[in-house]
Structure 1
Amino acid sequence: MGTRRCPCGSLEAFDACCGRYLGADGVAPPTAEALMRSRYTAFVHGDVEHLLRTWHPDTRPTALELDPGLRWTGLEVLDRVGGGLFDTDGVVEFRAHHRDGGRSGAQHERSRFVRDAGRWVYVDGVVGEPR
């Protein structure tokens, strides 16, 4: 079996990239961008537990249902502010491409992240192209 590339677009193998962050035994991503990429990968793989676990408790929904007809096809990281190894907050702007049936689309978001108990978590995001 060949090595699968990570869906986050890093060009790394899945297990060496976002695969190590997913699942109950996953390690904490070291940066806000790594967390955002792992969350995108969780959407690709339908890993609702990872999405909820990495969502800030103040903004996290009680449940999350993913659209089974939506297939995520690519990720572009457009900008990042802070979110590094020694930061306590950060912003990552991205465009996530998808297909729904025969239609292509993209979600553009500027996401906010903070450290909570030493781990990066997603707080919220502004969806849509900047004006």
Structure 2
Amino acid sequence: MTTRCPCGLGDPYDTCCGPFHQGRRKAPTAEALMRSRFSAFALGHEDYLLATWHPSTRPASVDLDPDQRWTHLEVLSRTGGTPFQTTGTVEFRAHYRWQGQRDVLHENSRFVREDGAWLYLSPAESRSD
């Protein structure tokens, strides 16, 4: 049985975000990195989250809450972030359940590409819907 990737594209995990999480490929766009980071949150890949976080804003650790279950992702818009650019933003809604309650993280994330790798920089804005 093939497991679908949590990122929302509908592709099998092994050919979608799996290669990014395993270090076999780098995300080619800011959106691909954002989707792979959502999948990392959903699957508990704390090391990947830290590795794809820009050093200037990266926390010392990521402690994922076992009571929080990321359920699905909606990409709302994007600016820049192509393989030929060095900056980009991705606005999204990340849906989750925490202690039985549904909630949404709405963020417009900023990304930068350094040495050929996209990195999460910071939220441009965020709010709960």
What TM-score range do you get, normalising by the shorter chain?
Answer: over 0.9
Q: Which amino acid aligns with 1:20?
A: P
Asked if 1:111 is matched to 2:106, the reply is no
Which stretch shifts more, 120-129 or 93-102? 120-129
* Match for residue 62 of structure 2 among 34, 53, 64: 64
- 1:46-85 mapped onto 2 (5 Å cutoff): 46-85=44-83
* Other structure's SS at 2:40 match: helix
Show CA shifts across 1:39-83 (max 9, x none): 000000110000000000100011111111000000000000000
1:26 CA displacement: 3.4
TM-fit CA distance, 1:129? 6.3
**Equivalent residues of 1:29, 1:35 under 8 A apart:** yes
Structure 1 gap ranges (5+): none
Q: Match of 2:9, as an amino acid?
A: S
Q: What number of residue pairs does the alignment pair up?
A: 128
3-state SS of 1:64 partner: coil
Match among 38, 41, 51 for residue 40 of structure 1 = 38
Distance 2:7 2:116 in 1: 23
Superposed structure 1 runs of 4+ greater than 4 Å apart: none
Q: What amino acid is the match of 1:44? A: A
Instruction: Give the match for residue 19 of structure 2.
Output: 20
Aligned equivalents of 1:79, 1:47: Cα separation in 2: 25
TM-score computed with the length of structure 1 as normaliser? 0.94
Q: What amino acid maps onto 1:5 in structure 2? A: R
Contact 1:56 1:116 in 2 (8 A): no
